[in-house]
Amino acid sequence: MDAVLEAAPCEGCDVVDLGTGTGQLAIPMAETARRLWAVDISSSMLHRLSELAREEGLDNIVPVESSIESVDFPPASVDLVVSNYALHHLVDSDKQKFLKRAAVWMKPGGRIVIGDMMFGRGTDARDRAIILGKVAALARRGPAGWWRIAKNVFRFSLRVQEHPVKESTWARYLEEAGFVDLVSERIVAEAVVLTASMPPPSGASPRGGRGSTTPSPLRSPEEHRDTTPRGGEKSPDRDMRPSPGPSRPTQVSIALPSPHG
């Protein structure tokens, strides 16, 4: 979670948090965001999030009860989309459809940050190391761990409930949806944080990020920094500051009032 937060600085932005749960990302991000739409399919999770937001004195979080597959926002209304360990639940075709919708939501230069498990079915050395490491850890737990191994073999081999894909597959999906400037950071084991942006207006830098605006192979954060101009990040251009609030998403069940009534 910390790695996702570090990859998603966006002061004064309109943010969408997908699979928000009780707000592990939403609460800290709302402290600097203009407005944050917290999307989750669970009404109980959103109720608890609303309680926590009130306790923190935050009035800019808008709960949205919806699946990721059906949520939608007006074109060019969002600066940043974030998700932590939620998108692997989508089947591959829904991952692609989601990214194409998100590209429409984005303002020019808008960014997406995905934190998730990213690995395949053992066809390369990294995949095999992740799978063998998990099997060994579970095996050490005795009979309960052996049961988990059997269950996970079924789930991952048949892609039931969870549908992780390699970071290279995510990169292809992002580029097909029109995102550029892809940066991948491997955190631990299967955990990866992948960031990308929509092309900014000519001559401008992506909001909250910098770098090339043409599709390119995945880069590490170090490689990304090595290719960026010296002199530090620019503050957001005034022309990119959020306009008055967009209309409500078209496929959600909770109204979207402005953050201050």
With 50 as the cut, is the pLDDT of residue 260 above it? no
DSSP one-letter string for 7-22: H---TT-EEEEET-TT
What percent of the chain has pLDDT above 90? 48
Question: If pLDDT is split at 50, 70 and 90, which confidence band does 192 have?
Answer: confident
Tell me: do 109 and 17 sit in the same domain: yes
Tell me: do 114 and 127 sit in the same domain: no
Tell me: do 42 and 168 sit in the same domain: yes
> Residue 218 has what pLDDT?
58
Could you give the C-alpha distances from 260 to 34, 37, 38, 182, 234, in angstroms and in order? 10, 14, 16, 35, 28
Tell me: do 211 and 158 sit in the same domain: no
What residue type is 63 in one-letter code? P
pLDDT greater at residue 184 or residue 216:
184
Tell me: do 107 and 14 sit in the same domain: yes
Tell me: do 13 and 128 sit in the same domain: no
Tell me: do 168 and 124 sit in the same domain: no
Helix axis angle for 143-157 and 125-139, nearest 10°, is 150
What percent of the chain has pLDDT above 70? 62
> Residue 191 has what pLDDT?
80
- The continuous run of DSSP H or E covering 63 comes out as strand 61-65
> Residue 238 has what pLDDT?
29
Tell me: do 178 and 131 sit in the same domain: no
What total of structural domains would you count in the chain? 2
Tell me: do 45 and 97 sit in the same domain: yes
Whether 81 maps to a domain, the answer reads yes
Tell me: do 75 and 88 sit in the same domain: yes
Tell me: do 104 and 200 sit in the same domain: yes
How far is Cα 253 from Cα 255, in angstroms, rounded to an integer?
7
Torsion angle, alpha carbons of 177, 95, 72, 65, to 10: -160
Question: If pLDDT is split at 50, 70 and 90, which confidence band does 189 have?
Answer: low
End of a domain among 105, 131, 163? 163
Whether 183 maps to a domain, the answer reads yes
Please state, rounded to an integer, the average pLDDT across all residues of the chain. 76
| CA nearest to 253, candidates 66, 1, 3 | 66
End of a domain among 107, 135, 163? 163
With 50 as the cut, is the pLDDT of residue 55 above it? yes
Which structural domain, as residue segments, surrounds residue 136? 120-163
Whether 261 maps to a domain, the answer reads no
End of a domain among 101, 133, 163? 163
Tell me: do 126 and 104 sit in the same domain: no
| Rounded average pLDDT over 27-35 | 97
Scanning the structure block, which residue is given the tokens 């059997």?
150
Scanning the structure block, which residue is given the tokens 């928000």?
20
